[in-house]
Amino acid sequence: MKKYTIAIAYDFNDWILYRWAENIKKTHSDKYNFILFSFANTSNQNHIKTVFKHADLIHPLAMGGCNMYNRETDKPILSTINHWTDEKPVIKTLPYTKHILTVSNEWKENLIKLKQKTNTALLDYPVYVIHTGVDPVFLTNQDILYPKSQNKITAGFFAKNTSNENDRKGTRHFKALLEYIIESGNADKFTFILSGAGWSGIVQKYKRLGIDIIDAGFVPDKDMPALYKSLDFYLMLSDVEGGPATILEAMASKTMVLSTNIGLPRDIGIDKENIIFIDSANYKDITDKMLYYHNTPEQYKQIIENAYRLASKMTYQDTFKGFADIYDEVLKDNNVEPIGSNIEIINVLQEICDANSISVLEHNNMKKEPSAREFIKKKIKNRLKKIISKLKSAMKIT
């Protein structure tokens, strides 16, 4: 029996969307063939047409990927829209994708409203919802990246301070929270750990003003469980996030989550039972809640244990089961018969896609330095030389 082949587009090979792609493949590889490819390396997209030729369904995991490929193929596209800060790019995407996946019920409602406003013909097609999951390693890890202080509250905020589109992560709220803590005379009660690019100048500023801040920089996936274990509180201060993976990762690490009541947190959270909901602009309340729960250890323990139990039921294997029904429905709606490409071709195409994928650091270096861009392009070219002959051999088999 021929298997359908799903081509999943992610951005960087060390970022959350790649984790999504890997876990979708891991959960459903018995039913479908998969090709995972990056849309971030725009300097070389020549192989994408071959990927599309051998795929039955294209699934970009971000709106940018959909906008890149909707004119490149007549294959059905399942577009993922996680959130937006500006309606314009979403409105441009809608006419090219009948099938939309999002990550929370709030964003499903927002998308339906946008369809009603802009293109009622699309209302006949459903908006699917899949919640993100958590890697089981977060549930079992006991390592700590930064030892906790016995005398201070340690809180974490994870976001880039640079290239942060329309303050999507809530960095302005975090900076304002630091200002409030200084003004209220509470600076000596806190340590903050930041993860993400571009914080060095901010860190130095607030250190001079008396706040203890650790700039963890870019933390690789393998060290993230130990980073959460370094925290008493994780702060999710965004006003627009759809399905922040950090919520479940913190819960699985038994770190108390203070979050705005949006997206995924709204779907899974119960205030004061497994999460603490906050107004991201009420800096006094955020500060008071951290002080309160730090000083009421029994309540703190009960909430983090409840959150841990919730996270343990939301591993990727649990939450991603629903992709099979969605893929089947989209394929059926488009009357797609499986191409049934030879597995050797699919495997070699995967090698080519892997060779063309780049990390966040490589992407940033390519943008900054022409020399770095040429070096990385040359490295990719050398990787590909070793694989192309294998693809040619595989093609002869079919």
Can you tell me which residue has the tokens 């960087």? Answer: 12
Render pLDDT for 105-117 as a digit per residue (tens, 0 to 9).
Answer: 999 999 888 888 8
Identify the burial level of 160 via C-beta atoms within 10 angstroms of its C-beta, where 0-12 means exposed, 13-18 middle and 19 or more buried.
middle
What does the pLDDT read at residue 177? Answer: 97
Tell me which CATH code domain 5-133+317-397 carries: 3.40.50
Chain segment 39-83, per-residue pLDDT in tens: 876 666 778 888 999 999 999 998 876 667 777 788 999 989 888
Least confident span in 61-65, 180-184, 247-251: 61-65
Intrachain domains 5-133+317-397 and 137-314 with the same fold: yes
- Please state, in angstroms and as integers, the Cα–Cα distance from residue 245 to each residue in 49, 158, 248, 311, 318, following that order: 31, 11, 6, 11, 14
**216 pLDDT more than 90:** yes
Sign of CA dihedral 228, 234, 240, 242: positive
In the chain, where are the structural domains located? 5-133+317-397, 137-314
Domain range 137-314, CATH class? alpha beta
pLDDT band at 104 (very low <50, low <70, confident <90, very high): very high
In the predicted model, is pLDDT for residue 287 greater than 90?
yes
